[in-house]
Amino acid sequence: MLGTGLIGSFYTDSLHSNRGRDQVRVVYSRSADRVRDFAEKRNIPRFTTDMQEAIDDDETDTVIVALPNHLHEQAVMASAEAGKAVLCTKPLGRTADEALRMLEAVEKAGVFNGYLEDLVYTPKTLKSLQAVSDGSVGKILWVRSRETHPGPHSDWFWKKEFAGGGAIVDLGCHCIEIARNFIGKDIRPVEVMCWGDTQVHPIETEDHAIGLVRYENGAIGQFEVSWAFRGGMDLRDEIVGTEGTIWLNHWLRTGMEMYTATGTSSYVAEKAESTGGWLFPVGDESGALGYVEMFTDMFNAIENKSTPMETFYDGYVVNAIIDSAYLSMQSKQWELVNLPVWRGRENVESVKSFREFDDQHLLVKEEKMPNGKTKLILRHKQSGDISERISD
């Protein structure tokens, strides 16, 4: 395990508490005191402040990168050179160029690679993806994904040179990949329109952004991200298809509500802003955030010599979309997504779907009226005129 911050803690605790046979045997941190405490608390036999030593350890067969963004490339390159399987937290890189170098390195070395995008693995998301795969909501037209909270917990997130950006690279990477999974990861993202600004925090990067990603088939992915949202962490997704809709609420209102007038000394939930009044604790954060299913998928794929649900290639595509979002913030217009390496489909069918009514009309809408009759809104195929009919 490379990294002993919040994400390293989540990853290690998830591994040790579920599958059991997957154990962290050596942990690395840049802080000697922190890595010692981390290892002792979790019964990890070896710890070090030397990254290469951790990677080269004889017991290390898989390297998990849970480090700040600016250290991902160094860790991935060293893992690839050592011939070790490597799993990297999101975002894969600070830019698409950085992500592509990592992708090329692991593929050249022939090592297993997994992109640790936990929010596509939440139980609710996996069930929703199955519903989409089954055709329950028809063709996906629009996916809206939102992640907002009061801001990151470590100083490096707030430094552009370390993180690569602000709320978009931190939170938008989740939202973009969620949309890709529902729309289809084999559908090319074509262009991005994005607004972003620094509204609250005295930083160089954006703390709030809204973006649209248009895909080749006409579907739209929408992301809403903020480090200026008060009240905790808000994770929501909305999937709209030609035949149905899915709403997902992952966080903030967790399903457990507790009021305390005196306050609590216990941990409430990630990004919770208060310890008194109405609180929304989480029974199993690792489970709710998808870590359990994510690592199960990753290690099953390693054992079965198969491809996991999320790979470095997915991380590269996400970085390319993020790059276009930052360009759009500056140009204030749609920006093309630059993907010199594209492995999906070409010339895909449009998601536009018009329903035939008869040989002369298309059906615009059908609805039941208060009197029990049915109203039909029709469009004439040749003239384009809109009319309505009432039937019993």
> Tens digits of per-residue pLDDT, 40-72?
999 999 999 999 999 999 999 999 999 999 999
| Phi, psi angle pair for 33, to nearest 5° | -65, -40
Looking at this protein, which amino acid is placed at residue 112?
Answer: F
Residue-level pLDDT at 279: 87
For 120-336, CATH number out of 3.10.20.600, 3.30.360.10, 2.40.70.10, 1.10.10.10 equals: 3.30.360.10
Residue-level pLDDT at 285: 82
Contacts (Cβ under 8 Å, ≥6 apart) of 171: 147, 148, 149, 225, 226, 227
The single residue listed with the structure tokens 């991935």 is: 76
Looking at this protein, which amino acid is placed at residue 220?
Answer: I
Nearest CA to 63 among 331, 298, 371? 298
CATH superfamily of 6-117: NAD(P)-binding Rossmann-like Domain (3.40.50.720)
Query: To the nearest whole percent, how much of the chain has pLDDT over 90?
Result: 88
Domain boundaries, the chain: 6-117, 120-336, 355-391
Tell me which long-range contacts 235-239 makes (C-beta under 8 A, separation of at least 24): 235/119, 235/146, 235/147, 236/145, 236/146, 237/125, 237/128, 237/143, 237/144, 237/145, 237/146, 237/178, 238/142, 238/143, 238/144, 238/145, 239/128, 239/132, 239/137, 239/140, 239/142, 239/143, 239/182
Can you name the residues that pair with 248 across neighbouring β-strands? 237
Residue-level pLDDT at 267: 82
Looking at this protein, which amino acid is placed at residue 84?
Answer: K
Can you name the residues that pair with 165 across neighbouring β-strands? none
Containing 195, the helix (H) or strand (E) segment is strand 189-197
Residues in the chain with pLDDT values less than 70:
18-20
Residue-level pLDDT at 21: 81
Residue-level pLDDT at 270: 82
Nearest CA to 99 among 73, 125, 78? 73
CA 255, 256, 260, 266 torsion: positive or negative? negative
Instruction: Read off the pLDDT of residues 289-346 as tens digits, 9 standing for 90 and up.
Output: 999 999 999 999 999 999 999 999 999 999 999 999 999 999 999 999 999 999 999 9
pTM over 0.85: yes
385 token code pair: 């005129």
